[in-house]
């Protein structure tokens, strides 16, 4: 029997992490196919087209553009998107009419126009507390007024086979049927009433560690690039992520000066240069002068990686030092920690690639959300 496609519109689509993972979801004959995407960033759209086979509209998301896209592709069953949104304080309650939240409003306008059976909005975990919770409340109220049941949750990516402890806020809206977040039926209801997956422990889940995800990639010195595998795949994750790939692209380390490499050599796994016991042992001439609490920190190889942020090649801004090598992660290591297959090609400059990787929804997390949607909502 032929698979039935659920048609999806991906807004703020970036390089396509969300669309890719959704395309892997299955329930019986049901599958999800992104039929249109919109993003303002040309390099990310090139990556999307190269790997997902459709060219996103390289434009700002707006009601007019969404109408035009719907005229072209017909109706859609699902809208997904992560409208960028920054926390800022305000005393007012009209958060959705604040200009600074216009992208969240644009996402809801698109839902109103297209009236899909379901939508998925993803965002940073702080989303529920922005503007003292007014933004979240107004989004929920607007979605309910449009006829959707809403299901908010925070998901920890490492529970879905992603070698990374990334947490994302997910809001699912459904017109009919019910929705249950994938994985264990989860635990705590936090103080703001949000169903929250327990963030403290992964106990009971089969975790993929940083080493599990990357130990077949060649050693690199700072600034070096190597375009071959050094070993056969060592485990199921590596077999899966290398499917169809004869060599890794973008296994390139950022360049660090010799003094910086020497500093990194003093930082043990799971520790930061600013931990007092580490700082004391670093020669004065090498000590960093300032940084964030999680900067100048070395990843623990036996655990899933910490969140791969848009700064994952800069140790002074992120927890991103390789567990055994004195350098920040390579682009390909970052992509692996996000669960992008080695066949996935990132387009643009090194900085474009780094931002696309760090911004993305991990495809394996998106697949889990897609599976739950297919099972319960369509
Ligand atoms: C968090 S990223 C999306 C990641 C994507 N969902 C993925 O999984 O790869 C947010 C995206 O919003 C895009 N963006 C920001 N402002 C926009 C606007 N006004 N219209 C369209 N896209 C915009 C950025 O270029 C960026 O790619």
CA of 69 to the centre of ligand 1 (A): 17
- Ligand 1 site-directed mutation target among 39, 361, 362, most atoms within 8 Å of CB: 39
Query: In this structure, which residue's CA is closest to atom 11 in ligand 1?
Result: 12
pLDDT classification of 187: cutoffs 50, 70, 90: very low
Q: Is the pLDDT of residue 147 over 90?
A: yes
- Ligand 1 close to Cβ of residue 60 (< 6 A): yes
Q: How far apart are CA 11 and CA 247, in angstroms?
A: 32
CA of 66 to the centre of ligand 1 (A): 15
CA 102 vs CA 78, 139, 329, 344: distances in Å: 21, 12, 34, 32
- Ligand 1 close to Cβ of residue 12 (< 6 A): yes
CA of 41 to the centre of ligand 1 (A): 7
Q: Kindly report the average pLDDT of the chain as a whole number.
A: 91
- For domain 4-205+361-377, the CATH architecture is 3-Layer(aba) Sandwich (3.40)
pLDDT at 49: 98
Query: In this structure, which residue's CA is closest to atom 26 in ligand 1?
Result: 14
Q: Return the H-helix or E-strand segment holding 108.
A: helix 102-114
What pLDDT, in 10s, does the model give residues 211-228?
999 999 999 999 999 999
- Ligand 1 close to Cβ of residue 211 (< 6 A): no
pLDDT at 196: 43
- Ligand 1 close to Cβ of residue 346 (< 6 A): no
What pLDDT, in 10s, does the model give residues 261-311?
999 999 999 999 999 999 999 999 999 988 877 899 999 999 999 999 999
Query: In this structure, which residue's CA is closest to atom 22 in ligand 1?
Result: 39
Quick one: DSSP state of residue 191?
T
Is 0.75 surpassed by the pTM of this model? yes
Q: Is the pLDDT of residue 190 over 50?
A: no
168 contacts 365 by C-beta, under 8 angstroms = yes
CA of 44 to the centre of ligand 1 (A): 9
- Ligand 1 site-directed mutation target among 84, 335, 352, most atoms within 8 Å of CB: 84
- Ligand 1 site-directed mutation target among 8, 9, 10, 13, most atoms within 8 Å of CB: 13
45: helix, coil or strand? helix
Query: In this structure, which residue's CA is closest to atom 18 in ligand 1?
Result: 60
pLDDT classification of 178: cutoffs 50, 70, 90: confident
Extents of the domains making up the chain: 4-205+361-377
Q: Is the pLDDT of residue 367 over 80?
A: yes
Residues with active-site annotation: 85
Residues in the chain: 378
pLDDT at 230: 87
Nearest to 116 by CA among 85, 84, 73: 73
What pLDDT, in 10s, does the model give residues 301-356?
999 999 999 999 999 999 999 999 999 999 999 999 999 999 999 999 999 999 99
Q: Return the H-helix or E-strand segment holding 170.
A: strand 167-174
Nearest to 271 by CA among 281, 284, 262, 261: 281
CA of 357 to the centre of ligand 1 (A): 12
């Amino acid at each position: 029997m032929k698979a039935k496609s659920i048609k999806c519109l991906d807004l703020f689509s970036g390089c396509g992490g969300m669309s890719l993972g959704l395309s892997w979801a299955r329930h019986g004959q049901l599958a999800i196919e992104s039929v249109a995407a919109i993003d303002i960033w040309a390099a990310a759209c090139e990556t999307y087209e190269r790997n997902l086979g459709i060219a996103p509209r390289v434009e700002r998301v707006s009601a007019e553009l969404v109408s035009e896209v719907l005229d072209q592709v017909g109706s859609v069953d699902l809208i997904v998107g992560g409208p960028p949104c920054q926390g800022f304080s305000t005393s007012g309650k009209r958060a959705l009419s604040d200009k600074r939240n216009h992208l969240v409003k644009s996402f809801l306008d698109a839902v109103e126009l297209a009236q899909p059976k379901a939508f998925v909005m993803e965002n940073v975990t702080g989303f529920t507390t922005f503007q003292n919770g007014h933004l979240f409340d107004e989004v929920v109220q607007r979605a309910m007024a449009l006829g959707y049941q809403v299901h908010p949750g925070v998901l920890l990516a490492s529970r879905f086979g992603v070698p990374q402890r990334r947490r994302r806020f997910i809001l699912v809206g459904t017109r009919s049927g019910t929705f249950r977040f994938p994985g264990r039926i989860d635990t705590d209801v936090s103080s703001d009433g949000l169903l929250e997956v327990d963030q403290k422990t992964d106990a009971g889940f089969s975790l993929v560690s940083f080493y599990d995800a990357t130990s077949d990639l060649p050693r690199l010195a700072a600034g070096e690039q190597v375009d071959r595998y050094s070993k056969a795949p060592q485990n199921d994750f590596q077999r899966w992520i290398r499917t169809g790939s004869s060599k890794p692209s973008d296994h390139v380390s950022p360049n660090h000066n010799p003094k910086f490499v020497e500093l990194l050599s003093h930082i043990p796994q799971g520790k930061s240069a600013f931990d007092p016991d580490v700082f004391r042992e670093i020669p004065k001439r090498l000590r960093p002068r300032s940084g964030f609490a999680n900067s100048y920190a070395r990843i623990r190889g036996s655990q899933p990686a910490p969140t791969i942020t848009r700064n994952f090649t800069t140790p002074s801004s992120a927890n991103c030092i390789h567990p055994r090598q004195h350098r920040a992660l390579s682009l390909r290591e970052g992509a692996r920690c996000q669960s992008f297959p080695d066949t996935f090609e990132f387009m643009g400059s090194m900085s474009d690639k780094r931002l696309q990787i760090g911004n993305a929804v991990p495809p394996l997390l998106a697949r889990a959300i897609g599976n739950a949607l297919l099972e319960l909502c369509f």
